[in-house]
Structure 1
């Protein structure tokens, strides 16, 4: 299948290339052709300069452009879509793209307005939400649905209108409140790094979430606010709630404040579930810091969660935000995954050139070879131990036998440890 992605060099469009390129024939376009060709080379996909030409050659055309440009791009390419193909958009507003698809696409082209509810930094799609808002379910719909289900995604089927109302809460309200909080801190000239000296785990999580939202493309967050038809109603409700709460405090009306707080809490629904999830998040953060502090002076494998690169070294020190290895590598703790012993061992198997040795050793003829092999197999960084020969002959004294082992290991030190264990069993190296 040929998949075309308009806007495949940045954001979610670029992320989709990673998901599709190993299974399908992917071609991308971009406004900046030089950048487009460079990204296509990096991702090992094809590049074409023309949106309309891409529309004419694609079985599935994905529109992944800024929200404010989506309708115009749909209008541009609609007449050139291949008969029997499907158009999909991935913007977080669904009513306007749906209207454009209904108005401009030929009858022989299917359309599925979608919203992957995750950002471009998401590395895996398992358990992430994707919303499908197609008013009619044609042949392509089942194919798309089954494919998403095979990736263990949480699929929501709804109308474009209901989706946009839900997003006015999930995105418009939360983004507006988070950016307002960040803006208030800026107006108060707050040094965020200093507040972190006083932070509680909940404050830490909140600041991280606010920073995650504010660090997004501000034009994206603006268009999420301005192009959702429910935005004005939601922002007015937020402003009203802020003023009502402020008035209760400034008028010293404790009863009114408590009334507002209780009503708000009841509306939150299952607070026990919320407490459980937040406790898990706090526990995970605390456990990771504790594990790092307890591992100072030990060899560690730290994987950068975005680049995927694994950094190996003795952990030299840990401060509030950074882990430093003895080779000088400094990594932000928030951006690393600590490989478990099993993960570290597997990484070594896949990335380190193994050492090979054939070791012969003379033992009493009463020794049990299988016990020796089992012992050697448990030595750290030993990959395999095979007993290849048992010899008793003219060169070996009576009452003794020579055992030969073929050993594969991840380090020279492991080979040396094997030799030490063999001599510890009473053997004499040949």
Structure 2
């Protein structure tokens, strides 16, 4: 029997049958989660790049360039604000009926929303309906991705051996740089088209291609078995909570707040680097967008190596150590990063973005797929991990680029943005101080 800690996590010994299940199906589970998550992030991140390069001109053309960009980033933020709703809804059903079904549903929500954006008429064609429909589809995307991450992470770490959860969980996380490479790469290629053609039809191609990727991801996920940890909990005699989310909010408040704090700096940092820096570099510094996008591509490519490395290290050093490294680096690098961007040098910019992504984002993002779920028991794990992650994503990922753009418009320089990043880094540092170390805990409940 596994014993519970005061925080609701389990600290006993997991059943040996889990090891057999894990060893027999781990490769299939990891592949399904990585490819599925890559497709989801491809869909979600397309919007961020398009918001910085296209949507301000096609859907908010009546505003001046910076204000149009701010409006476009506002529609980008809507997707993040919708993510806690997705986390709550899919977390509830994921804890009640299983992880796999929820992952199939979120994929179709994301893919359908992305494909529809590629077909949208512009402001010039249907007026105010264009931005309204764009925002509606972004909400659908946000709800979908809000339920996706928690399920994908749980499917992998609940299959994985206890001493390798950090590593296998980090493989789910490489779906993010893979999706970023795919979405940013295709935009970087298409943005070399003549502007008239790119704005007329070229920008639609990445959104329409999503349908092919979604069908591939759906097929692969059909082959995955349900989580053995969830099945063990479902087979036990203990009654599950009627409303898992309510139990998280009433009995797991401390760990929920910790999970929000752990996520907020990492997600803000990566979207400042991949969305706001594109806006700042192209709109204010007049740096060619290809130079910025090349830096993002380099950073994402390197994260294919560093994210699993940090996940592997977290199985040996603990999750908290990597979070201390990432949060301290982010605080220290916030101001120098903008100074480097201001040089205008393609080499300096590319290296700066790549280093900042990998040491600031990758060091925390790698262990995250294991750490956040480990804070919660099986019967509320999907709800707890998803809600904590997605609330922080709404604050750090959705509002941070928009707030940074507003600060830039008001102050005319980047200092306010650097201070904002440092404050968020301090929040994550404090959350890490109060976080329990979880890498030796069992995920099974008695």
Which structure: greater strand fraction? Answer: 1
Using the size of structure 1 for normalisation, the TM-score is: 0.23
Which structure: greater helix fraction? Answer: 2
Using the size of structure 2 for normalisation, the TM-score is: 0.23
